[in-house]
Amino acid sequence: MNLALVAIVLAIGGGAVLAVSTRNDAASAIGVAIALVGSALLSDPLPSAAVLGVRVVAALLVATMIRSAMRTGPRQPSPVGWPSEALLATAGAVAGLGLWVGIASLAASGGGLVGGPGSVEPGSTGAVSTGGVAVTSMALITAAGASLLALGAAPLVHGRPGPRRAIGLVLVTQAVLLLRIGVAGPAVELEEIAREALLVVAGATGAVLAIAASSSSGREDAEPAGT
């Protein structure tokens, strides 16, 4: 099961890199969808069907809203290119793993649960053995969250108003939501609803502001469509 989780983490990273680096609007929206749906599935064991449904619907809704914002907005590919973004995502993931190992060590030295920094998810099975350290699903979730944070922070903070900033906002929001689970354990059902509402609001807000930015007179700063 954890090998599947590794594949999902790779898909999340790949989707996010695609989302922030491509010039193609549709590919960017697909990248967002892959990253968000992958994040929804990143759990061992999978949550109940209702919670999973809420997560997937929210992810697809956000991807749709981002896509709609791109129809009117300028194209804003990554200024550093996809290889740099991929390296950044990898570095983020490694940092996330390091964070998790650090917290796990603190927990172990303080008498906490060694299997994970927070309350270990019930039924967690078969960790991936990496020598002396067992990488649990929580570690992978933390890695995915840190990876998304590394990718989304720059477009959010330094990006010009437009779809790229909206993507950054969504990725950073999803990153914090993943880190929350990776560090503190699974969320209860009410929190799941609140989390997905937050993700949808972030996507909707980013999309609305991107559309507004594209229609404002100050858009000459942005790269025109078709370039």
Partner 1 sequence: MTLLILAAVALGAGIATILLGPERRRGALTVGLIGSIVVLALALAMPDTDSLIVGGVGMVSTPVVRAMAVAWSASLAVLGLLEIAVGGRPTVVGPSLIGLAVAGLALATRDPASSMAALAAGGVAGVVVPGLAGWLDGPDIPSRLPTTNRGTLAILGSGLLGLSVIAWGASAAGPLGGAGGPVSIDSGAQLSLGLALLVIVAAVAIRTGLIPLHVWAARFMEGVSPLAIPAAFAWGSAAFVLVALDWSQVALGPAAAGDVERWLIILVAMVSVVLGGLAAMVHDDIEHVLGYSILQDAGVAVLAFASLDPSVVAAARNWLVASATVKTALAAWASVVRTTYGGHRLDDLGGWARHSPALGVAFAGILVAAIGLPNMALFRARTDLVVSAMPGFGQVVALLIAVMPAIYLGRIAIAGLAQVSPAVDAGASGRPRWTGGRAAGWSEGPLTQAIRAIPGELRANRAPLMALGVLVLAVMALLTATGGAGG
User: What residues line the site for partner 1 (CB under 8 A)?
Assistant: 103-104, 106-107, 110-113, 116-119, 156, 161, 165, 169, 172-173, 176-177, 179-180, 183-185, 187-195, 197-198, 200-202, 205, 208-209, 212-213, 216-218
Shorter beta-carbon distance to partner 1: residue 30 or 205:
205
CB 165 within 8 A of CB 114: no
- Please give the sequence-ordered ranges of beta strands (E in DSSP) within the chain, or none if there are none: 128-130, 133-135
DSSP 188: P
Interhelix angle 49-72/25-41, rounded to 10 degrees, is: 160
Q: Least distance from C-beta 82 to partner 1, angstroms? A: 26
Q: Least distance from C-beta 213 to partner 1, angstroms? A: 6
Interhelix angle 2-21/25-41, rounded to 10 degrees, is: 150
Shorter beta-carbon distance to partner 1: residue 16 or 183:
183
Q: Least distance from C-beta 162 to partner 1, angstroms? A: 11
Shorter beta-carbon distance to partner 1: residue 30 or 120:
120
Alpha-carbon span 172 to 211, nearest angstrom: 20
